[in-house]
Structure 1
Amino acid sequence: MSTLVYRLAFFLSLFGMFTFGAIDMTRGVAAPLMQSGWHLSYLQLGYLFTINSLGYLLGSFIAGWILDRFGISACSKAGALLSSMGLIGVLQSPNYELAMVSFAFVGTGTGVLEIGVNGIVPLISREPSDNSRRFNTLHGFYGVGCVIFPVLAAWLMHRSGNWQSGYWLTSALMVTLFLATLFFPYRKVAPSKESPVKNTLKVTKQHSPWRSPVFFGFATALTVYVMIESGLASWLPTYMVHVHRTTLHVGSLYLTGFYFLFTCGRLSGQFWVHRLGEYRSIYLAGSLLLLSLLVTVCFPSTTVLLMVAGAGCSVIFPTVVAIASHAFPRNVGTVLGILFTAAGIGSLAINTIIGFLATELGLQKAFWIFPLLVAFVLLSVLATHLLDNRRRTAIEMAIRDTADYPI
């Protein structure tokens, strides 16, 4: 029975990540039609997306506390409810002011829900390899939504002549997810008896993430990594159009290629990350990402490598999250909340940084920041790896001492 419940829980999480990808891509595709429908300036449109991002930061920050204090059920239900209310509110908003409120609800709800969706994985994983395998698959489904929905949403909006058709579909997905959270038996989702979580609770209680340089190493690496992923996703079409003089259609194809290889990498990660090793997988993917970006900025004729960068981005985020959640089993909610908040800060910061550099130096030179950021991520992960090895050795010694002298 528990195996079936675990499978259903993971399927629900996959559906949630797919829905997040659908929402993010639909928002981008619908933006021009929203702008004309509500008669917005570019600045006002930017405010809508900014309030959505700030809501996400708030939601992911408080969700860690909700998860640790009230459990996975409350976190998932609250997030799905707020997201559903926000998406329906966007559909029904007659003016800009109500749309701002609705986007704030969407951002806050998805921030809370994403912690609930990711929080399922440590609960149903029996060992670290299960953790990394499931996290890579889970985040791969975000990429599936990102690949499918730009085309699907654009087709729906073209057929209907309005942006609401795309949002009706994403609203239906989120309401379905909310109804599923109402009826799912979360109380039956608990760590397995074989899980290392149960075996290390006593010895890890003094290893709080707030006191651990390992945790802050993970947070730093993820913040900078998300600056790379989000910056490339936001600026790649513009880079191709203004630097390489391609059409917008060709620029969009580069972005689609980036996300296609990104998704393939994440979905395939379940088969090789645990075999190669989590840290080695990060080093391999990071090296591919660094090489592809460095060659591209040095030799402009090799722009096809910008799509290959998607493969380099694929497994870094979910693998770091998997390592961190297993490293602090008593504080999974807090760990996920802070890591995803840090990621959101990185996503917000990079657009301002690229905009400033492009204004001062030109967009071509601004793209030099990406290989520099990748190098920083690799160095951060290496330093954290060394610290994590020392932390694990200390825990193993404590476990042996506990076995010799039971508490």
Structure 2
Amino acid sequence: MSDTRDAEHGSNAQDETSPATESSFLLPKKASDVKSKIFSTNFAAFMAGMNDAAFGVLIPYIQPTYGVGLLQVSIIYLINFLGWVVASFANIHICSRIGTGGTLVVGASIQCIGYTLMFWGPPFPLFVAAFFFTGCGVALQDAQVNMFTITVNDAHRWLGILHAVYGVGTVLAPLIANTIASRMPVWHYYYLLVMVIGLVNIVNLAWTFRKGLFSPNVRNAKGSAGKELRETVTNRTVWILNGFFFLYVGAEVTAGGWLVQFLVSVRNGDPKKVGYIASGFWTGFTLGRVVLADITHQLGERRMVFIYIALAAVMQVLFWLVPDITVNAITVCFLGFFIGPFYPVGLYVLTQLIPPELHVGAMGFTASLGNAGSAAFPFMTGAIASHIGLQILQPMMLGLLAGIAIFWYFVPKQRAITI
């Protein structure tokens, strides 16, 4: 958000318990006026992190339990991808009918449905199907928490915090999942834990968005959802940044999701020990979002993302060429550190490049469809690895980093948007 907008409208921020309207949604809000909603949306992001970062650590335990290979495991990512895609097109229409808070509660509830199908060790087809619900539920929430955050003053900073909190979830998830899987006879109890936390998430969101919960926003109640979606999907900048997010989130989750299995099958690591290295990657990822947020904003998002891509590629090459688990643990930590800021930076740049009236639709569409890469590329990696081995992980990662750079090159230069 530009300083002009903040100064002009900051005093008009709506109280956090008031129903959303078109004008109030677009106006920047003081953080102090919406602090409980900031907390609940950040908690939802934390839950997304707990969801996304655990599966990769559990793969070495899932395979012997169900007697499946890498291709069958990869199908889980494909089902998750379908959930994200459905949510990406449904998000605007759902939000138009039940509002931001209602969509968040519905998304959190769908996410918990997935966990109820997982935690008791169901047959493999049902376990796989559950990932459709977790993908769809997380995608609906992801779109809404990002859309809400861009309406808070100093949006670039709050986006950095939001996605750093997501990173905290990704750090804790491998630690907890690996501890449960290595010390208990049933690894799927991890999903019982996140189901309980997910119920807290539902209550938290319902309470903080209680005023006007399940009421449509005025801006969408007039039947503008379809028109907004059409304008969003025909905007060239939205699609360029969609490509950027699609490849970036794909790289992020591919690295974190297949890291442990790579260290087990290629580096001959002990799954009980190398499982914790995944938290090293996500720790670097989280620190990058915190430490580099203001630096990136001050020095220029366009320039700094190119620098981070180059540094990340160096870390990836070192990981590939040095077959030492200790060195690998260090390099993946720095890899996470350098790519961590990409997502919040990209979202902030998006708000600077498109008209304000498209912010809601574009953020929802981009957050959902762009994040579908988190399922698509891990699936592709696993499918290819089932034939030639997980050595494919490193060329895949370098290819994704190159693709990210290409899309970022075509992102238009920023211009200040004022009202």
TM-score of the aligned structures, taking structure 2 as reference length: 0.75
Cα offset for 1:323? Answer: 1.7
- Alpha-carbon offset, residue 265 of structure 1: 0.8
Question: Is the CA contact (8 Å cut-off) linking 1:133 and 1:269 kept in structure 2?
Answer: no
Q: Secondary structure at the match of 2:161?
A: helix
Q: How many residues align?
A: 371
**Structure 2 segments unaligned to the other structure (5+ residues):** 1-14, 17-30, 214-227
Match of 2:238 among 185, 196, 215: 215
Structure with max Cα Rg: 1
Aligned twin of 1:20: 48
1:269-284 equivalence runs, <5 A: 269-284=292-307
User: In the alignment, what sits opposite 2:116?
Assistant: 88
Aligned residues with identical type, % of pairs: 22
Shift of 1:79: 0.7
Alignment-derived partner of residue 232 in structure 1: 255
Would the aligned equivalents of 2:381 and 2:392 in 1 still touch at CA under 8 Å? no
Q: Give the aligned CA root-mean-square deviation in angstroms.
A: 3.4
The C-alpha deviation readout for 1:298-354, integer Å capped at 9, x for no partner, is 666764423311111110112102221443332234223332343344233323543
Whether contact under 8 Å (1:58, 1:111) holds in the other structure is: no
Matched ranges for 1:1-400 at <5 A: 2=16, 3-29=31-57, 39=66, 41-42=68-69, 46-68=74-96, 70-91=98-119, 95-96=123-124, 98-123=126-151, 125-126=152-153, 130-156=154-180, 161-185=185-209, 208-248=231-271, 251-297=274-320, 303=328, 304-328=330-354, 329-355=356-382, 363-364=390-391, 367-384=394-411, 387-389=412-414, 392=415
Taking structure 1 as the reference length, the TM-score comes to 0.77
Q: Give, in whole Å, the separation in 2 of the partners of 1:35 and 1:297.
A: 25
SS at match of 1:367: helix
Aligned CA distance change for structure 1 residues 5 and 86 (closer, same or farther; 3 Å): farther
Name the CA shift for 1:226/1:212 in 2 (closer, same or farther; >3 Å): same
> Is contact 2:164-2:290 (8 Å) kept?
yes
Shift of 1:13: 1.3
- 1:337–1:53 distance in 2 versus 1, CA, 3 Å: same
**Deviation sequence 1:136-190 (CA, Å, 0-9, x none):** 211111221121122223434566532353222211111111112222246599x
Q: Is the 8 A contact 1:122 1:326 kept in 2?
A: no
Q: Is the 8 A contact 1:63 1:333 kept in 2?
A: no
Name the residue aligned to 1:198. Answer: none
3-state SS in 2 of match to 1:162: coil
Unpaired runs of 5+ residues, structure 1, are: 190-204, 400-407
Counterpart code for 1:314: G
